[in-house]
Amino acid sequence: QQQVKQSPQSLIVQKGGIPIINCAYENTAFDYFPWYQQFPGKGPALLIAIRPDVSEKKEGRFTISFNKSAKQFSLHIMDSQPGDSATYFCAARGWSSGSRLTFGEGTQLTVNP
Amino acid sequence: GAVVSQHPSRVICKSGTSVKIECRSLDFQATTMFWYRQFPKQSLMLMATSNEGSKATYEQGVEKDKFLINHASLTLSTLTVTSAHPEDSSFYICSARDARGQTQYFGPGTRLLVL
């Protein structure tokens, strides 16, 4: 009930490509879905977040698509750059989980020049 | 955006010693702070949640007598790893949430190596 499943585990794209990272959840009480970007040796940084009352949110080159009925959400990175190479974590939070974030397993993205 | 700092960024200590890690919210008041540990190529694992002025709530399997957490003010939380052993070597990351409870910000992490 508290799990968030993330895929793929790793992803390699060419510069300019559009990597897509998917997450699925089970707990329908989750009401906040953030994505974090983490570079090696650094803490995670919030990229973008969405609530279940909207189906899409865009901030710069990053877009979250949200499918409430399927309990899935995904991150799209438009015009990807080598500097986007990092590990990406999806997460979910709801009041039933004590307001704690439940993280996915992470996706290691490599954008080749 | 909001900033969370951690000190030290890395520490090497001998087995059996204690290590204190500080976490500060620099430009907002953090009513709730979280401590995570992360092993290489793995996700973040929540260790404990602390609210200012009250005892921390530890996750199952986390020894509260080994990982002492103090959240004495709205901008400072500390994690003390007592009697550290090599298996405690990890990347420790703190996180803080503001009073509105909307967004959770993460610190830069502390790399602990116990010899």
- What is the per-residue DSSP string for B41-110? TS--EEEEEEETTS--EEPTT--TTTEEEEEEETTEEEEEE-S--GGG-EEEEEEEEETT---EEE---E
Number of C-beta neighbours around residue B96 at 10 A: 29
Question: Looking at the partner chain, which of A41, A49, A100 has a beta carbon nearest the beta carbon of B46?
Answer: A100
For residues A42-51, give the mean pLDDT: 94
The residue ranking higher by pLDDT, B104 or B6, is B6
Q: Is B106 on the interface with A (CB under 8 A)?
A: yes
Evaluate if residue A7 carries a pLDDT over 70. Answer: yes
Evaluate if residue A1 carries a pLDDT over 60. Answer: no
Closest residue in B to A34 (Cα) is B103
Closest residue in B to A44 (Cα) is B106
- pLDDT for res B52: 82
- pLDDT for res A2: 61
- pLDDT for res B53: 80
Evaluate if residue A3 carries a pLDDT over 80. Answer: yes
Query: Please, what's the largest Cα pairwise distance for chain B?
Result: 41
